[in-house]
Structure 1
Amino acid sequence: MKYLAGRLGALLAVVAVIGLLPWLTRTDPALTILHARYADRPPTPDVLDAIRTETGLDGGPLHVLGGWASGLLHGDLGESWVSGQPVGPDVTSALGVSLTLMGASLLVAGLLALALAAGTLRKGARRRLTTTRAGVGAAALAALPEFLVAAVLVTVLAVQLGWFPALGWGGPAEIVLPAVAMGIPAGALLGRLLDDALPAAFAEPWARAATAHGMRPPRIAAHALRRTLPALLPQIGLAVVGLTGGAVAVETLYAIPGLGGTALSAALAQDLPVLQACVLLLLLLGVAAGLAARLGSRALLGPARADGALPPLVAPHLPARRAVVAGAAVLAALLLAVIAAGLLRDPLHADTAARLAAPSPAHPLGTDSLGRDILARLGRGAATTVLTAVAVSAVTLVLGLLAGFLRAGALTETANALPAVLSGLVVAGIAGPGPWGAAAAVTVVAWAPLAAHTAALHAQERAAPHVDVARALGAGPWHRLRRHVLPGVVPPVVRHAVLRVPAIALALASLGFLGLGTPAPDPEWGRMLSENMPYAERAPWAVLAPAAALAALGVLAVLTTAAVRGGRRR
């Protein structure tokens, strides 16, 4: 009961922030409505007051929140500030599109996860398992943002090869690329976790007994899958939460009329009633997925309890540490060389005679639609993105340590269930798009994993024997904290924060791709992808260059993590 009360309180706090968006916004809602509906009327104080009275925005924050909550209880999501039409029908239609896309994406994720674990399932069922197969490759795919996969798929399969439609929604053909783009990162993560968990299941006594009694390998494999599901279901719930954030970018890229694309359009237009409805539904989708995963895990644990404790999802055995370190060093050197070469060029200089020029000695990576050197913009964009990511990581480290020591479990879990894109939409609705808003949006959710890590280490250190000895010798609480607890907690969390810098950079690039980050003409990798996507057919290098840089950054994060863990050769 205490668990549910804490999580419900944190969820209601997030919902309250959504309800207060019209009051929290930096712009006058009456001006937004006036410009959208009554462009011919002057913005006099009387006219603005009349609009506020008509829309119920003439009161304080409690009045605004109460009116919105009252409407929700009666099934009224409000009226659009731009069109003046009820929000409910459009958002309900968009919800159906998003659910269809998420269902197809989960199917792709499930098939990919099974494909990655197929070798382990086959050999484990025949008692021939010596190693797992999914490793760096699967982890690298899991590290790629959905919008990057979507950009590569649309450039290669839709534009270059013409196998699928590049835009639109309607028939089965339009579902394939978006579902694959969203399903690949989620499926790679689930496949890696499944591949890591299966050996522990096959090593249990029931598997040996089943083999000795002549049970067929397919049935043994099915039982092993069922045995690992309780531990995997929470990760599946988090994968669905990730899909709610990835849907915003993918729906925007493919012009799909779902909740994600609708929310982004509303955020950019400051149409807050539409944004409120979309963000609320996306949040509820994520919460429902997490709750379903928890209930499913508890249901499956009944028969599993007879076997004892479930095996933990251990980290994969990656290649030898020397090979991983060498790979990370080579990739880092290549990225640094490209960035350094780009920083020596002017990213804002436009050569109008060389628009969309192919790679050449003068422009090694080609030019964009305005004739600007892509190498220069890639280098300057990397500096902007990485420096911002380092600053955000420092802030999240402090917040994570504080929240972990204060044991803010309910708030931590709620923040961990929110994708950065979703918080980016809320921040954009309050402060408008911009680099500071993007940094704040990522910070709002990026502290949660560090807080969870801190809380776990804090509990472990407090229960350690040396702390009990210090207490018995008369050491006070502050002495024990400073000399015995902090040394065991802070260094691992700092290393964790450093390893999350590339992931934060990718999150910032995702917001830049959606137009919620660094404004034009300043270069930023995500914005470069967004600006060059319309010219992917004529100048694929303009898209593939930032896409390759983002992919390299994701793979570098995986290799760096593997090198720190010190994986061994299989």
Structure 2
Amino acid sequence: MAEPAVVAPALGQEGATRRTAPRGFWQDTIHRLRRHRTGMVGATLVALLVLTALFGPYLAPYDPNQMDFSVRFSPPTLRHPLGADDFGRDILSRIMVGARVSLQVGMIAVGIAATVGTLLGLVAGYAGRVVDEVIMRAMDILFAFPAILLAIAILAALGKGILNAMVAIGVVYIPIFARIARGTVLAVRNEEFVEAARAIGARDARILFRHILPNALAPLIVETSLSLSFAILAEAALSFFGLGTQPPDPSWGRMLSEGRAYFQQSPWMGIFPGLAIMLSVMGFNFLGDGLRDVLDPRLKNL
């Protein structure tokens, strides 16, 4: 008598759906980023910066502008974990409050650059000819200047201050986003889905923002992360030269400038603000590197 055939147990409908259901864009990005070590280190540092910027003013042990001349140049102690500066102000409190300034300037400046640059790049790549030449030659002129020198020149015209620093840094990084957006438009403007949209009578604005712009999201997201690190560094540099955040408001760059005069006597005045700048810039760079690897379509199957 023949033995009965062994039938493998079938997966339930729910299990099959759970195994085969594709992840969305953001879910897939987060899933792949979790497996990227460098990206996760950067994401952790960025998360700490964001939390410090949000809650630092409420969790700071002292008023960042409170002076106590009895503890001038105090080294790190239990009372002042990161020491005190030349006016007796708590360095930890000033760093925690200064995190909000650095992140705010970086986000607004990069927001300006990303918005204006992306729009200019989309228009230049889609319109072509004279419009493309005019816009991109203007971007080349901006590219011809070193970033920090161009920002200083803009501040010289607008006047020093935190708001003008945001505008100056934003203008400096507009050409980067413009080139990325334009490159994407040139790559896909003759694709079949764009031609199909034109054939059914879609307006140019709808074609740009509904069909072309989504193809530029991945490189724009990566560039946004990397530009945030440079924007924080640029704000620190401008404040270091006295052109950004004005006293008595705390700023990492300003604190670094103030600590420079007392580096031999009280090195902690410059070391700890410098570490804050370094960790923030490193966090956004690591996150940008991770996002670049995660969003690269050539690495999707690795």
Normalised by the size of structure 1, how large is the TM-score?
Answer: 0.41
Q: Please say if 1:420 is aligned against 2:147.
A: yes
Q: Assess if the C-alpha contact under 8 Å between 1:513 and 1:527 holds in 2.
A: yes
Change (3 A) 1:562 1:429: closer
Q: Please say if 1:559 is aligned against 2:286.
A: yes
Q: Assess if the C-alpha contact under 8 Å between 1:393 and 1:498 holds in 2.
A: no
Give the C-alpha shift of residue 474 in structure 1: 4.8
Matched with 2:37 is 323
Change (3 A) 1:418 1:466: same
Question: What are the Cα deviations for residues 217-243 of structure 1, in whole angstroms up to 9, with x where unaligned?
Answer: xxxxxxxxxxxxxxxxxxxxxxxxxxx
d(CA) in 1 for partners of 2:282, 2:292? 15
Q: Please say if 1:369 is aligned against 2:96.
A: no
Extract structure 1 runs of 4+ deviating beyond 6 A: none
Give the C-alpha shift of residue 508 in structure 1: 0.9
Q: Assess if the C-alpha contact under 8 Å between 2:111 and 2:170 holds in 1.
A: no
d(CA) in 2 for partners of 1:321, 1:415? 38
Residue type of the alignment partner of 1:326? M
Change (3 A) 1:350 1:488: same
Matched with 1:429 is 156
**What is the correspondence of 1:352-501 to structure 2 with a 5 Å cutoff?**
352-407=69-124, 408-490=135-217, 492-494=219-221, 496-501=223-228
Give the C-alpha shift of residue 439 in structure 1: 1.8
Across the aligned residues of Structure 1 and Structure 2, the Cα RMSD in angstroms comes to 2.6
Give the C-alpha shift of residue 544 in structure 1: 0.5
Q: Assess if the C-alpha contact under 8 Å between 2:46 and 2:284 holds in 1.
A: no
Give the C-alpha shift of residue 421 in structure 1: 2.4
What secondary structure does 1:406 align onto?
Answer: helix
d(CA) in 2 for partners of 1:330, 1:481? 35
RCO comparison, higher one (Cα < 8 Å, 6+): 2
What secondary structure does 1:429 align onto?
Answer: helix
Matched with 1:538 is 265
d(CA) in 1 for partners of 2:113, 2:208? 21
Q: Please say if 1:515 is aligned against 2:246.
A: no
**What is the correspondence of 1:137-536 to structure 2 with a 5 Å cutoff?**
321-332=35-46, 334-335=48-49, 340=55, 343-344=59-60, 345-407=62-124, 408-490=135-217, 492-494=219-221, 496-536=223-263
Q: Assess if the C-alpha contact under 8 Å between 2:40 and 2:287 holds in 1.
A: no
Q: Assess if the C-alpha contact under 8 Å between 2:52 and 2:99 holds in 1.
A: no
Q: Assess if the C-alpha contact under 8 Å between 1:385 and 1:509 holds in 2.
A: yes
d(CA) in 1 for partners of 2:103, 2:117? 20
Give the C-alpha shift of residue 346 in structure 1: 0.9
Question: What are the Cα deviations for residues 354-384 of structure 1, in whole angstroms up to 9, with x where unaligned?
Answer: 0010011111110111110001111111101
d(CA) in 2 for partners of 1:563, 1:437? 32
d(CA) in 2 for partners of 1:479, 1:522? 44
Give the C-alpha shift of residue 465 in structure 1: 2.2
Structure 2: runs of 5 or more not aligned: 1-32, 125-134
Give the C-alpha shift of residue 337 in structure 1: 6.5
Give the C-alpha shift of residue 320 in structure 1: 9.7
Change (3 A) 1:476 1:429: closer
Number of matched residues? 251
Give the C-alpha shift of residue 485 in structure 1: 1.9
Greater alpha carbon shift after TM alignment, 531-540 vs 499-508: 499-508
Q: Assess if the C-alpha contact under 8 Å between 1:335 and 1:549 holds in 2.
A: no
Residue type of the alignment partner of 1:441? A
Change (3 A) 1:514 1:461: same
Residue type of the alignment partner of 1:517? G
Question: What are the Cα deviations for residues 471-510 of structure 1, in whole angstroms up to 9, with x where unaligned?
Answer: 3455453443343223323564255324422221111111
Question: What are the Cα deviations for residues 1-44 of structure 1, in whole angstroms up to 9, with x where unaligned?
Answer: xxxxxxxxxxxxxxxxxxxxxxxxxxxxxxxxxxxxxxxxxxxx
Question: What are the Cα deviations for residues 181-205 of structure 1, in whole angstroms up to 9, with x where unaligned?
Answer: xxxxxxxxxxxxxxxxxxxxxxxxx
Structure 1: runs of 5 or more not aligned: 1-318
Q: Assess if the C-alpha contact under 8 Å between 1:424 and 1:437 holds in 2.
A: no
d(CA) in 2 for partners of 1:440, 1:478? 27
Normalised by the size of structure 2, how large is the TM-score?
Answer: 0.74
Matched with 2:128 is none
What secondary structure does 2:36 align onto?
Answer: helix
d(CA) in 1 for partners of 2:205, 2:56? 50
% identical equivalent positions: 31
d(CA) in 1 for partners of 2:202, 2:56? 56
Q: Assess if the C-alpha contact under 8 Å between 1:405 and 1:458 holds in 2.
A: yes
